[in-house]
Amino acid sequence: MPAAHGDLAVMRSVILFAVLALVIAGVVPRFIDKHGPAAAPAAAAPNEPPPAQASGRNLTIPRGSDGHFRVEAAIDGRRINLVVDTGASAVVLREGDAARLGIHPSPRDYTGRTQTANGVARYAPVELNRVEIGGIVVYNVRAAVMPDETLGQNLLGMTFLSRVRWEHRNGRLVLEQ
């Protein structure tokens, strides 16, 4: 039964990252709103990432007017906006956005369950073949798809970030590969 034990360990990891992603997605924006610097009026829509500056395999991401670092990524060749979330264990996609990317988990694929402030949430573990941000490319990235009503925004979590070098420098997030 070693395979069953391995599957259980993977499921525990998926549940853990989903719980962490949901908690961070709910807590961080409230904390920033209460304790962060006053945000300047946004020139672009709040879900649009400010322009990042790429240089080879380096990417500098400015902080948005809402205090978040937002990026436009290409997942398996299709564009999507993500909020960089170093507290999220994995990349987490809203169901509607996953569908736009060609990812359509069936109801039976939603094998994960997690408790959130809003009740029990379900998710479908998936693997993304290629995630590209600027000139940085990471292959075979574990991710989760969650119902739209469960997740307010797509998250770029540690299943991507742990495979690149990143640091917060002078109010900007710098990614290097």
CATH code for the domain in which residue 49 is found? 2.40.70.10
Q: Kindly report the pTM of this predicted structure.
A: 0.68
Number of domains in the chain: 1
Cα–chain center distance at 51: 18
CA distances from 10 to 89, 125, 163 (A): 13, 10, 19
Contact between 176 and 60 under an 8 Å Cβ cutoff? The reply is no
- Averaged pLDDT, 34-50: 47
Q: Residue 37 is part of which domain span?
A: 2-176
Tell me the two tokens of residue 98. Answer: 């996953």
Strand pairing class (78-84; 155-156): parallel
The angle at the Cα of 49, spanning 45 to 55, to the nearest 5 degrees, equals: 150
* pLDDT 10s digits, 158-169: 999 999 999 998
Tell me the two tokens of residue 144. Answer: 């989760």
Return the HEC string of 84-139.
Answer: ECCCCCCEEEEHHHHHHCCCCCCHHHCCEEEEECCEEEEEEEEEEEEEEECCEEEE
* pLDDT 10s digits, 89-109: 899 999 999 999 999 999 999
